[in-house]
Amino acid sequence: MTFLLLLLFCFLSPAIFSAVSIPSTLDGPFVPVTVPLDTSLRGKAIDLPDTDPRVRRRVTGFEPEQISLSLSSDHDSIWVSWITGEFQIGKKVKPLDPTSIKSIVQFGTLRHSLSHEAKGHSLVYSQLYPFDGLLNYTSGIIHHVRITGLKPSTIYYYRCGDPSRRAMSKIHHFRTMPVSSPSSYPGRIAVVGDLGLTYNTTDTISHLIHNSPDLVLLIGDVSYANLYLTNGTSSDCYSCSFPETPIHETYQPRWDYWGRFMENLTSKVPLMVIEGNHEIELQAENKTFEAYSSRFAFPFNESGSSSTLYYSFNAGGIHFVMLGAYIAYDKSAEQYEWLKKDLAKVDRSVTPWLVASWHPPWYSSYTAHYREAECMKEAMEELLYSYGTDIVFNGHVHAYERSNRVYNYELDPCGPVYIVVGDGGNREKMAIEHADEPGKCPEPLTTPDPVMGGFCAWNFTPSGKFCWDRQPDYSAMRESSFGHGILEMKNETWALWTWYRNQDSSSQVGDQIYIVRQPDRCPLHHRLVNHC
């Protein structure tokens, strides 16, 4: 009898045991809800100054700083990254020699016995502007070391640096991901977007750390260094304040400030980043994404990608696909071909959950960036739907919104749940206007982002209009508040999504729902006749 009760317990849904009744997607689709704007809770969208002790350099010589972790393609390897030496900014800068110091990580399962060693590579990047009066930047030496042969769900201790120079970090630790299987998952996955480095950001990260995540997804727009001129002057709106600059400038030290502030989190918990529009950072010779691609380690090689702008990885029984919205994505593009191959290789008996992320949302009802990514949606939505994508995370819009299950703007029980979490706290402030409000629908031809392509939003609403005249059916819940989310996979079909608002206590929930997979109702792979 005891065995039968235990067996029954395993197969009952997690919602049955919740202290409070938490809805699930099985209860949907839900009637759209808009939480009223509370104008008293706008937070402090002001950047931390360079005098703040949390962003100042706290090491000397070539001791490591800005230490961060990122996952490789599976549980048995992890990347450790850090910076040594000081950046330079001025009219004339001389890059440091990356070969002048070694890239070594000492690690082990015992804190007092770091008996293993891994070596990696180092690099320096520069942000150069061929215009009079603009300052150039060259980074400290950036190190990336991949540790392999790790055991799943195991705590490892490590320190990084160059022992021959007596330039080693203090000892940190991390926990590896569980082995990929339908019964093993990271405990908590934090999801956040559009962070920046404001006082709002510090609240977001404080709340996020309180929730003890095992993994963090950052859905684009990291440091917002491109809201600054090279001399350190800044604005909430670059194009408004600096319309006549010969190139869109950046102040690269903001990246170093961001790395220092985040180290307390990123030295312990892997951070997986995908690029946003603020990472483009055009410079001399038409180079882009130099800071983003240099500062973070990505499992792009391990996942068969040729670019840091898109890649995939496993975390327990979840396969994550991180897509690039600011690199070619059409059906003839290399990224699209890579995505087809990557999805075809996913074994849903091993990694039942399929989660995709990219920066600009396909489903958002806010006026800001409304239908901006329509060309990407037209190119890729059918492919992701045909392989049974369960959840999509986006940023870009500085607010929170969760969708009903949707495909091609129609409610669909087999479509993904789209969640916009561009509410990390950056200085551009919150999005508060909705495209369905009177007078708030943008002119259609003003909506495309030139970097992403032309106008593709020909699929208008059922009434033939560009915007809905009420909150769209696909939009289940929306609120203009800063915060972050936590994803917890309970088993191979149930996942708990919780969104926390900065203005609340750390334990108070802003939105919560069980996302339920229905593989019997929604057969996987090649759901559509033609997805090529």
Active site residues: 369
Distance between CA atoms of residues 391 and 269, nearest Å: 22
Tell me, what amino acid is at 7? L
Structure tokens, 86? 């000081």
Indicate the burial class of 22 (C-beta count within 10 angstroms; 0-12, 13-18, 19 or more): middle
- 3-state secondary structure string, 75-97? CCCEEEEEEECCCEEECCCCCCC
Q: 115-142 as b/e, with b when 16 or more CB fall inside 10 Å?
A: eeebebebebbbbbbeeeebbbbbbbbb
Distance between CA atoms of residues 489 and 14, nearest Å: 10
| Run of H or E including 339 | helix 334-345
Distance between CA atoms of residues 28 and 18, nearest Å: 18
Distance between CA atoms of residues 52 and 273, nearest Å: 25
| Run of H or E including 7 | helix 2-11
Phi/psi class of residue 87: alpha, beta or left (left: φ > 0; alpha: ψ in -120 to 50)? beta
Distance between CA atoms of residues 370 and 343, nearest Å: 28
Distance between CA atoms of residues 100 and 340, nearest Å: 42
Neighbours of 508 (CB within 10 A): 9
CA atoms within 13 A on the CB side of 502: 30
Tell me, what amino acid is at 499? W
Tell me, what amino acid is at 249? E
Phi/psi class of residue 171: alpha, beta or left (left: φ > 0; alpha: ψ in -120 to 50)? beta
Distance between CA atoms of residues 217 and 355, nearest Å: 11
- 3-state secondary structure string, 406-442? EECCEECCCCCEEEEECCCCCCCCCCCCECCCCCCCC
For strand 410-411 and strand 353-357, is the pairing parallel, antiparallel, or unpaired?
unpaired
Distance between CA atoms of residues 185 and 180, nearest Å: 8
